[in-house]
Amino acid sequence: MTEFNELSRQFQISDLKEQRADLHFFHASKEHAVAVLTSLKEKYGYTHLVFFTVVDHLEKNEFHLTYMLHNYEKHHDMGVVVKIARENVQMESIHHLWPAAATYQQEIREMYGVEFPGSPGLYENFALEGWEDIPPMRRDFDTKEYSDKTYYPRPGRESHDPREYMKENLYPGEAETW
Amino acid sequence: MSDNMNDMDQIQLFNDQGRLLNAGLPDEEKALFCDAAPQVDAPYRGIWEKFLNWARSESLWILGFGTGCGAIELRPLMTSRYDMYQYGVQPRPTPRQAGLFIIGGYASVKTMKRIVRSYEQMQGPKFVLGLGSCTVNGGMYWDSYNTINRLDHYIPVDVYIAGCMPRPEALLAGINELKKLIKEGKGENANKYAENFEWYKRNQKKIIKDWNMPDYNW
C-alpha cells in the first residue's frame, strides 16, 4: 500500500496488516508515532480521528495505543498501533492535531494511567470522582477484590443438593431404600 | 469487617458541640449551609396519624431522577396503559416536592453522590423504592469497581423490587406494597435515617471520596 511504503522510508513503521480492503493496521515506534500521524493527516488525507484507545497486554508487559484514522475521499480506515512499556507510561499528546483527542487522553489517563504531558484538562475527573486506587481498567487491578472490600457484598442464599435435601426432609422413612 | 470498622472510625463527622463538620466545603461556603444533623420527627398517635398515613399513601409523588436503566420503566408507567395516576402517583421535578424516590437499577459511586444529596433534600416522610436486582445485591454489576452492591447501606429502602428489569406491573405491585406499609404505619424510614445518621454517613463517605458538599443538605 502506497502510504505505508512511502512512510516506511522516513519513519520506523512495520507490520502492515490488511484487515479488510478498507481497513489497514500498522505498528509505529513511540518516537515516530506523532510524526506519522501528522503525515497521515496533512499529506495523505486521513483527517478524521475515529477513536483513540489503549489495550493492556499484561503478559507482554505492554500497552498498545491504537489511533484509528479515516480518509473521507478514499473511504479508508488506518489504524496506527504504538507499543509502549507498562512502567511509568508516557506518550506524546496529539491534541494539537485533533482537539478532541484531549478528551480521549483524559479518559485514558484516568482508566489506564497513561500520561500525556501538555494535554488540556488531563487531570480533571472524567468518569470517576476521587479515585485513589490504581487505574481500574488496568488488568492487574482486581475488580472483584476491590468490590468485596468496598461495597458490602450481600451474602448469597443457602443452597442444597436436591436429592440429599429430599431424602432428609421429605422422605426420611424411605431414605435407606434409595 | 474489622478493617472496615477501622476505616469508618477515622471519618470524623461531628465537632465538640455535636455539629456537623462540613469538612468537604470551602471555608467561605461553610456559613451557607446548616450544620445540624437530622432529627427524629416522631409520628402522631391514634386516628390522626392513620388519617395522615392514608393521605401520604394516596399521593406518592416520585422524584423525576432516573438513576439507572430502570428509569425506562417509569415512562410506560406514566402513560395510558399502566396509568400510575390512578394510584395517586405522579412525577415531580424537584426533590423538595417529591416523597418517593425510585432508584432505577445500578447506582455508580458518582450517581450515589447525587442520590444522597437528592434524598436528603426531600422532605419527610419520604420513601425509597429499590427497583431491580442491582439495588438488592449489585445484580450483574456485583463485582464492578464502580457500582454499589447494597443500596440499604447508604439510604434506607422501603421496598425492593427484584428483577432485571422488572416490568411496570411489578413496579405497580411494589408501589401498592409501599402503600400498604405506609397505611400500617411502617413508612418511618426518614426517622430511621435520622436515628442511624452516623452509620449511613460513614458508609457514604467511605465510597464517595471527593465529598465536596454539605454533610447533611436539607
Structure confidence by residue, pLDDT tens digits, B164-183 = 889 999 999 999 999 999 99
What is the number of H-type helices and E-type strands within chain A? 5, 5
For residue A164, count other CB atoms closer than 10 A to its CB. 11
Range of the domain at A35: 2-154
Structure confidence by residue, pLDDT tens digits, A102-135 = 999 999 999 999 999 999 999 998 888 888 889 9
Contact A115, A93 (CB under 8 A): no
Identify whether A10 is part of a domain: yes
- Map residue B180 onto helix, strand or coil: helix
CATH of the domain at A150: 3.30.460.80
β-strand partners of B63: B92
% of chain B residues with pLDDT over 90: 56
The confidence score (pLDDT) of residue B8 equals 56
Listed by start position, the domains of chain B span 61-207
Q: How confident is the model at residue A100 (pLDDT cuts 50, 70, 90)?
A: very high
What is the average pLDDT value for chain A, to the nearest integer? 91
Query: B37 at the A interface (CB within 8 A)?
Result: no
Identify whether A167 is part of a domain: no
The confidence score (pLDDT) of residue B9 equals 60
The confidence score (pLDDT) of residue B3 equals 46
State how beta strands B89-92 and B60-63 pair.
parallel
Residue type, B35: D
Structure confidence by residue, pLDDT tens digits, B7-58 = 556 678 888 888 888 888 888 888 888 888 899 988 898 899 999 999 999 9
Q: What cell numbers appear for A7 in the block?
A: 512512510
The confidence score (pLDDT) of residue A95 equals 95
Task: Return the residue matching grid coordinates 506519522.
Answer: A36
Q: What cell numbers appear for A128 in the block?
A: 470517576
Structure confidence by residue, pLDDT tens digits, B50-105 = 999 999 999 999 998 888 888 888 889 999 999 999 999 999 999 999 999 999 88
Query: B81 at the A interface (CB within 8 A)?
Result: no
**Closest C-alpha to B108, from B165, B62, B160, B67:** B67
Q: Evaluate if residue A157 carries a pLDDT over 60.
A: yes
Which segment of A29-33, A82-86, B33-37 scores lowest on mean pLDDT?
B33-37
Q: What is the mean pLDDT of residues B170-199?
A: 93
Measure A129 CA to nearest chain B CA, in Å: 6
Q: Evaluate if residue A36 carries a pLDDT over 90.
A: yes
The confidence score (pLDDT) of residue B13 equals 82
Cross-chain residue pair A128–B110, CB shorter than 8 Å: yes
- For residue B40, the 8-state DSSP code is -
Q: What is the mean pLDDT of residues A151-160?
A: 85
Identify whether A33 is part of a domain: yes
B20-48 burial code (b ≥16 CB/10 A, e <16): bebeebeeeeeeeeebebbeeeeeeeeee
The confidence score (pLDDT) of residue A164 equals 84
Q: What is the C-alpha separation between B116 and B155, in angstroms, rounded?
A: 7
Contact B125, B89 (CB under 8 A): no
Cross-chain residue pair A151–B207, CB shorter than 8 Å: yes
Cross-chain residue pair A141–B207, CB shorter than 8 Å: no
Q: What is the C-alpha separation between B162 and B137, in angstroms, rounded?
A: 10
Q: Which residues of B touch A143 (CB under 8 A)?
A: 143-145
CATH 3.40.50.12280 given to domain B61-207 = yes
The confidence score (pLDDT) of residue B2 equals 41
Identify whether A107 is part of a domain: yes
Comparing A98 with A87, the larger pLDDT belongs to A98
Q: How confident is the model at residue A159 (pLDDT cuts 50, 70, 90)?
A: confident
Shortest CB distance from B110 goes to which of A129, A146, A154?
A129
Q: Evaluate if residue A174 carries a pLDDT over 80.
A: no
Q: Which residues of B touch A147 (CB under 8 A)?
A: 138, 142-145, 149
Cross-chain residue pair A151–B149, CB shorter than 8 Å: yes
Q: Evaluate if residue B4 carries a pLDDT over 80.
A: no
Measure A54 CA to nearest chain B CA, in Å: 19
Q: Based on the structure, what is the number of domains in chain A?
A: 1
Q: What cell numbers appear for A159 in the block?
A: 443452597
Cross-chain residue pair A151–B3, CB shorter than 8 Å: no
- Provide the whole-model pTM: 0.85
Q: How far is CA B12 from CA B114, B198, B200, in A?
A: 21, 10, 13
